[in-house]
A and B are shown apart, each in its own frame.
Chain A
C-alpha cells in the first residue's frame, strides 16, 4: 500500500481494559481491531454509519452519566470509557434482536442465508432464547423481482439500509429506496425503473438476512455444503479478490473478498455471475481434429498432440506464431512463452489482440501508480475507456476517491462515461483528435481547457491511461502518459483490459519482451536468460497485426491461438479470416469454439478460471494467487501440462512438470519476479497481493513515453468503438444471468450530425466502413463528440464492422452495397 501518515492515537477504556486506538475511529471499529466484537447489522466498514439497526448499542461514561449510544457512529475520544457488555447493554441487545425477529418469517430452513446469516448468528450469541410475540407477523407480497437478477423478500428484510446505501454511496446508482413508513417501511425500486445496476449483486452479498437473493444462487445450495476458495476475478485486469464457492463440483456462487488494495470487497455483476460459463454445455471437453472432409472430429489426446507436434515440427521455428494467452495464469503464460522461444524457437508472440498497447509502455511506465494511490490523489485524470464498462471495480475505487476522499476528477473521452456525474471537468473530443487535446493541454497560454489545467496544477496527480476505444491510435496513450508524467507528483496507472494481460506481458508473451520485464533488445537481459534457456533470437518478433499479415503473405506457416479470437477482435475481420485460411496449420487451445478456431486444424480443450492454480498480475503490477477448486470438463487439461507433453513429442524439454515448478523457474529467470513465491501470496499479510518488483526483484525496463510526433487523424464520421460490460463475448453469452443483459446494438450520433444527414432517432441505418457494413438502429446521443459515430465494439452484431477509422451512416440502402469510400489514414498493417 502507498505510505499513509500514522494516525494519532488516544487511550480509551474498553470493558475495563486500557487500549490505544486511532483518534476519531468509530468505537465499533476500534473495538473490533482489539478483538472485541460488537454485534451489528447496518454497520459496514466500507460505508458511512447510519445507526439504524441499534444492535451495536454500548454504554459510554459522560459527564452527564452513562449513556447508551451506537458504537457504529460514535468516534472514540481521549479517556473515553466504553462498556460493551454491561447489563444494560445486554438487555438492549436482547431487545433489539427480539424486535427484529418478531416480524421476521423465520423460514430459515428454506432461506438461502440460513447457515451464514448474521441474524441467526447474532441471535445465538446475543439474543433471547424465545419469542414472546404471539400476533400475526407482517406480510408483504414476495418475492419481488427488483431486476433480471435480484429478487426482494420484504418479509425477511430488517431495514438495515445496507443495500440502499451501497447503491447511493458506493455505486452511485440509487435505484432502490425505503418506501412507506413505520411498520410498513420496505425497500423497493421506483415505479418502472428496475434495479439495473452493474453492481446489484453486492447488495445481495451484504444483505445481513435473506431478503435479497440473486437468481444464479437462489435455492441452489446450503451454505454448509459449500466449498470455498479465494481467488481473483478474471473479468478484467483490476485484480478483484473473490471467493469461489462450489457445491457438488459445481461453482454456484462468487462473492467479493475485501481486498484493501483492489476491490474493497465489491464486484461487478459480471465478476460475480460470469462463473456460469464454466458449466456451459458448449465447453470443449475433448480434443478435436479436422478430418479430410474438413469436419472437426473428437480425437484422443495422443493423436491430437502428435498432429500438432508433426505440424509445428515440419516448418521452421520462425514460421510459427502465437496469439493470445492474456486470460491464462502467469505460470501458463510463462510455460507458453518458454515453449515458443525454446522448443518452437520463434519470437512471434503476442498476448494482445484487438486493443493492443505498446507492451513496453504497459509493463514499464514509471512511476506506475497503485490503485490505493487514488485515495491520496488531489487530482485524478482518466483518459481511457469508460471505466464503468471496462473496469467496474476500478470505477468504484475512483468513485470512492472522488466522493469520499476529496479528489478532483477529470475525464477525457469521446462521449459520456459512468464517471461524468462526479467529474469536476470533462473533455469530450472526436476520436483521432486526441493529439490535439494533448497539445492544447501542454501549450503555454492556450485558451482552451483552462479549468482542466488549473486542476492539474494540484498534485499528486494520478493518471489512468488507456485506449478510449478500439479505433484510437494506441500511441495516443503513450502521448497522454508523457503529458501526465510532467504533472506535479504524478503517477500513471496503465490500463489494458484483458484479465491477465499484464501477467502475460511480464511472462514474455510479447514480441518485444522477455520474462520479468526485460526488453528483447537488452543484450544483458537476454544473455542472462540465455544462461538458463540457451540461445534466443535477438530480434523482436511480430505483433498480432504483423502475424496476421505474415500469415496472409505466406511468410508465416503455422499459428497457435491461445484463448484468442482475432477474427472478432481484429481490425479487419475478413482479412483475419483470410489469413487463418492461408495458414498451413492452426492449433487452438481454448475453452470454447469461436469465430477464429472454427477454422483450426486441431482444437485442444484447456482448463480455465477456477480450474487452474497459479498467479495473475493486475494493472498495478500486483501479483495475486488464483486457485483451483474443480477440474475442467471432460478431458480438458491445464495449458502448461499440454505444452509440457507437446514439448516432449517435439523432442524438447519444457520442464513444466507442475505449477509450483513453473513458479520456481519464474522466480529464477524473471528479474522483476525474483522474490515471488506462492507461499507468500497464500498466507499472511500479503494475501492482498504484492506489487512487483519488490525486495529482490529488479526491473530493468523503464519506459519513458513521449509524444511521438502523433498527429490528429480521421474526419467525419470518426468511429468511436467503445466497449460495454455485458458484451457479445463467449463468457458473457454463456452465462445465462448475463446473456440477457447485453444491450441492443445501435449506432449513436450527435443530434446535429443526425440532422445534417437527415436521419431520425430510432431509424434503421446502414453503418459502413472500409471493412464491412452493419445495419443498426440509430440513437441520438448529445454527449458524443460531434463528427463521430459511436458503435459499441463487442456486441454480437457489431463486430463485423471491424475497426475502421471512419464510417458513413445512411438510411438503409439496397442490401449488399458496400461502402467503398476510404477516409483518413489506415493504421494497422493487414489486420
Chain B
C-alpha cells in the first residue's frame, strides 16, 4: 500500500477530544475552502472538479457523484438531501463522520448546495443515531451562528438553510426515494423510478441525494482539485474510502484506506487477520446485501469493477468477516431475517418472498429441513431475482428483495455441501 492522504479521518484521529467542535474545525483549516470557493469559484467549476475527481457515491450504488449532479433538471427550487440513514448491517462509517467531524460534512453540504444551486439542504440521520444527530444539530447551529449557513453566507450572496431530520428506524429509508417519502412525512416506501430524484425528488422538485461520506469528501476535493483526488487509489475506483471491519477479525473498526488495495491487505494487514488465527471462511464485502467472497477472492482488488467482475460489490463499505467456526446457514438466516423484518411490505415478492426464505432457513437451521428445500430456496430466490444473476434482475420495486437473495446464493454457491448436511436424510439419499 502506497502512502495516501487521510482525507476523511485525519482531524478526528489527531484531535479525538474535540474534532466535532467548530473551534477545532476552524483551527485545522476548516471552512477556508468554503470561503475561497464562494468568493472565487463559479458553481459549474465545483461541479467540474467533482466530475474530475470521479468520486463514486459511498452509499452503496457507487454512482459517480459529479455525473449524478449533472442530471439535475433545470427547475427551481432544487434540494440537496444527505443520506445519513446508515442502516446496512455491519456499516458504521457514517456514524463516525457525523459524530466526530460534522463540520466537514456541513462544509461539503454548503459547497455542494452552491454547486447545484440548492438553497435548502436536509441531513437525514437514522433514528437509532441520537448522538450523531445531536452532534450534527449542534454543529449546524454553530455554523449558523458563524455565518457558514443562513443568509448571504460569508458575504457571498449565497443562502442555504440546513435541516437535520431524524428517521423513524426503518432500514428501507436508506433507499433514496423511500428516504424522500419519509422526509415528506409519508410512509417510508421506495417510489417507482422513473422519475428519478434528480428530476422529481423531494416535494416533486429536482433533488440530489448523496451519502454522508461522499459529501464529506467534497471540501478536500474542492481544496485540492479533482485531479489530485483522482490520483489516489486505483484506475477505476479512486480516492480513499472508509471501511467498517467487523466479525472475526482481530482489529475491527473503521479504517480509511485508498481504493485498489487487495482484500488480503484489508483483512490481514489492516484488520490484523482472523481471530484466534482461525481459517477464513467467507466475508461479506459490502454490507449485508452483497454476495459473499471466499478465500479465492483474497487477491481481488478492492474496486467497484473488480468486485463486480467477481460477482459482488463494495456496497456500503461494511466488511463482515466469518471464520471457520461460522455456521453459514445461521449467518445467512440472520441476514435474511433482517431483510424480511425491514421489507417495507408494498410489493409482493419482497414482502412474501423474504419471509418465506427466512422460514425455510429457520427449518434448515433447526435440522427440520426437507430434501426439496434446497431447490425450493433457490426457486423462491429466483422469484425475487430472476436468474440469480449479478448484478441482480428483480421482480421487486427496489433492491431490498434481491438483497435477501445474496446470502442464500452465496452459501449455495460456496457451501452447498454444508447446507445439505443440515438436512436430515438428504446426503444418505444422495449417496444411496
**Contact partners of A522 in chain B: CB under 8 A:** none
Q: How far is the CA of A159 from the CA of B351 in the complex (A)?
A: 10
Could you tell me if B345 and A185 are in contact, using CB atoms closer than 8 angstroms?
yes
Residue of B with least CB distance to A158 = B348
**Contact partners of A184 in chain B: CB under 8 A:** 345
B187 touches A (CB below 8 Å)? yes
B99 CB to nearest chain A CB (Å)? 28
**Contact partners of A54 in chain B: CB under 8 A:** 347-349, 395-397
Interface string of B222-240 (1 = CB under 8 A from A): 0000000000000000000
User: A50 with B356: in contact, given A132-B376, A183-B343 (CB under 8 Å)?
Assistant: no
A115 touches B (CB below 8 Å)? no
Residue of A with least CB distance to B172 = A181
Residue of A with least CB distance to B353 = A99
User: A100 with B348: in contact, given A50-B192, A57-B395 (CB under 8 Å)?
Assistant: yes
B8 touches A (CB below 8 Å)? no
Partner of A95, one of B170, B351, B395: B395
**Contact partners of B355 in chain A: CB under 8 A:** 182-183
Could you tell me if A180 and B348 are in contact, using CB atoms closer than 8 angstroms?
no
Which of B345, B354, B359, B393 has most chain A Cβ within 10 Å? B345
Could you tell me if A181 and B170 are in contact, using CB atoms closer than 8 angstroms?
yes
**Contact partners of B108 in chain A: CB under 8 A:** none
Could you tell me if A51 and B397 are in contact, using CB atoms closer than 8 angstroms?
yes
A73 touches B (CB below 8 Å)? yes
Q: How far is the CA of A178 from the CA of B187 in the complex (A)?
A: 8
Which of A53, A98, A158 has most chain B Cβ within 10 Å? A98
B36 touches A (CB below 8 Å)? no
Could you tell me if B351 and A183 are in contact, using CB atoms closer than 8 angstroms?
yes
B383 CB to nearest chain A CB (Å)? 3
Q: Which of A93-123 contact B (CB under 8 A)?
A: 94-96, 98-100, 102-103
Could you tell me if A68 and B356 are in contact, using CB atoms closer than 8 angstroms?
no
Could you tell me if A53 and B347 are in contact, using CB atoms closer than 8 angstroms?
yes
Q: How far is the CA of A88 from the CA of B383 in the complex (A)?
A: 10
A92 touches B (CB below 8 Å)? yes
Q: How far is the CA of A54 from the CA of B385 in the complex (A)?
A: 13
Could you tell me if B343 and A182 are in contact, using CB atoms closer than 8 angstroms?
yes
Partner of A183, one of B170, B352, B380, B383: B352
B386 touches A (CB below 8 Å)? yes
Residue of A with least CB distance to B356 = A102
Could you tell me if B351 and A182 are in contact, using CB atoms closer than 8 angstroms?
yes
Could you tell me if A182 and B345 are in contact, using CB atoms closer than 8 angstroms?
yes
User: A92 with B345: in contact, given A99-B383, A159-B351, A183-B355 (CB under 8 Å)?
Assistant: no
B161 touches A (CB below 8 Å)? no
Q: How far is the CA of A135 from the CA of B383 in the complex (A)?
A: 18
**Contact partners of B395 in chain A: CB under 8 A:** 54, 57, 68, 92, 95-96
Partner of A159, one of B345, B353, B354: B345
Interface size on A, residues (CB 8 A): 36
Q: How far is the CA of A200 from the CA of B375 in the complex (A)?
A: 44
A190 touches B (CB below 8 Å)? no
Could you tell me if B386 and A68 are in contact, using CB atoms closer than 8 angstroms?
yes
B341 touches A (CB below 8 Å)? yes
**Contact partners of B353 in chain A: CB under 8 A:** 95, 99
Could you tell me if B349 and A95 are in contact, using CB atoms closer than 8 angstroms?
yes
Q: How far is the CA of A68 from the CA of B172 in the complex (A)?
A: 22
A219 touches B (CB below 8 Å)? no
B306 touches A (CB below 8 Å)? no
Q: How far is the CA of A103 from the CA of B172 in the complex (A)?
A: 23
User: A178 with B346: in contact, given A67-B393, A132-B376 (CB under 8 Å)?
Assistant: yes
Could you tell me if B348 and A96 are in contact, using CB atoms closer than 8 angstroms?
yes
B191 CB to nearest chain A CB (Å)? 10
Q: How far is the CA of A84 from the CA of B346 in the complex (A)?
A: 23
Could you tell me if B346 and A159 are in contact, using CB atoms closer than 8 angstroms?
yes
A27 CB to nearest chain B CB (Å)? 14
Could you tell me if A135 and B359 are in contact, using CB atoms closer than 8 angstroms?
yes
A52 touches B (CB below 8 Å)? yes
Q: How far is the CA of A49 from the CA of B347 in the complex (A)?
A: 13
A133 touches B (CB below 8 Å)? yes
User: A52 with B386: in contact, given A67-B393, A99-B353, A183-B340 (CB under 8 Å)?
Assistant: no
**Contact partners of B348 in chain A: CB under 8 A:** 52-55, 96, 99-100, 158-159
Q: How far is the CA of A225 from the CA of B324 in the complex (A)?
A: 65
Could you tell me if B340 and A182 are in contact, using CB atoms closer than 8 angstroms?
yes
**Contact partners of A132 in chain B: CB under 8 A:** 372, 376
Could you tell me if A103 and B352 are in contact, using CB atoms closer than 8 angstroms?
yes
A752 touches B (CB below 8 Å)? no
B195 CB to nearest chain A CB (Å)? 11
Q: Which of A127-183 contact B (CB under 8 A)?
A: 132-133, 135, 158-159, 161, 177-178, 180-183
**Contact partners of A100 in chain B: CB under 8 A:** 348, 352
A91 touches B (CB below 8 Å)? yes
Q: How far is the CA of A482 from the CA of B383 in the complex (A)?
A: 63
Which of A54, A133, A185 has most chain B Cβ within 10 Å? A54
Residue of B with least CB distance to A95 = B383
Could you tell me if B341 and A182 are in contact, using CB atoms closer than 8 angstroms?
yes
B266 touches A (CB below 8 Å)? no
B420 touches A (CB below 8 Å)? no
Could you tell me if A133 and B356 are in contact, using CB atoms closer than 8 angstroms?
yes
Interface string of A524-563 (1 = CB under 8 A from B): 0000000000000000000000000000000000000000
Q: How far is the CA of A98 from the CA of B383 in the complex (A)?
A: 9
**Contact partners of B382 in chain A: CB under 8 A:** 91, 95
User: A91 with B386: in contact, given A100-B352, A102-B352, A183-B352 (CB under 8 Å)?
Assistant: yes
**Contact partners of B343 in chain A: CB under 8 A:** 181-183
Q: Which of B368-405 contact A (CB under 8 A)?
A: 372, 376, 380, 382-384, 386-387, 393-397
A641 CB to nearest chain B CB (Å)? 56
Q: How far is the CA of A159 from the CA of B348 in the complex (A)?
A: 8
**Contact partners of B340 in chain A: CB under 8 A:** 182-183
Could you tell me if A51 and B345 are in contact, using CB atoms closer than 8 angstroms?
no
Q: How far is the CA of A140 from the CA of B105 in the complex (A)?
A: 45
Residue of B with least CB distance to A161 = B346
Q: How far is the CA of A67 from the CA of B391 in the complex (A)?
A: 12
User: A88 with B192: in contact, given A54-B349, A99-B356 (CB under 8 Å)?
Assistant: no
Residue of B with least CB distance to A138 = B355
A244 CB to nearest chain B CB (Å)? 35
Q: How far is the CA of A492 from the CA of B290 in the complex (A)?
A: 63
Q: How far is the CA of A516 from the CA of B384 in the complex (A)?
A: 63
Could you tell me if A183 and B349 are in contact, using CB atoms closer than 8 angstroms?
no
A711 CB to nearest chain B CB (Å)? 49
Interface string of B163-206 (1 = CB under 8 A from A): 00000001010000000000000010000100000000000000
**Contact partners of B313 in chain A: CB under 8 A:** none
A209 CB to nearest chain B CB (Å)? 13
Which of B344, B352, B386 has most chain A Cβ within 10 Å? B352
Could you tell me if B346 and A68 are in contact, using CB atoms closer than 8 angstroms?
no
Partner of B354, one of A49, A177, A180, A182: A182
A427 CB to nearest chain B CB (Å)? 30
Could you tell me if A51 and B341 are in contact, using CB atoms closer than 8 angstroms?
no
Residue of B with least CB distance to A177 = B187
**Contact partners of B397 in chain A: CB under 8 A:** 51-52, 54
**Contact partners of B384 in chain A: CB under 8 A:** 95
A591 CB to nearest chain B CB (Å)? 48
**Contact partners of A183 in chain B: CB under 8 A:** 340, 343, 345, 351-352, 354-355
Residue of B with least CB distance to A88 = B386
> What are 21 A-B interface contacts by the 8 Å CB criterion?
A50-B192, A51-B192, A52-B348, A67-B393, A91-B382, A92-B386, A95-B382, A95-B384, A96-B348, A96-B395, A99-B349, A102-B352, A135-B359, A178-B346, A181-B342, A181-B343, A181-B344, A182-B341, A182-B351, A182-B354, A185-B345
Can you name 9 extra interface pairs (CB under 8 A) apart from A91-B386, A95-B380, A132-B376?
A: A49-B192, A54-B349, A99-B349, A135-B359, A181-B170, A181-B343, A181-B345, A182-B351, A183-B355
B residues whose Cβ falls under 8 Å from a Cβ of A = 170, 172, 187, 192, 340-349, 351-356, 359, 372, 376, 380, 382-384, 386-387, 393-397
Q: List 4 A-B pairs, minimum CB-CB distance, nearest first.
A: A95-B383, A185-B345, A99-B352, A182-B343
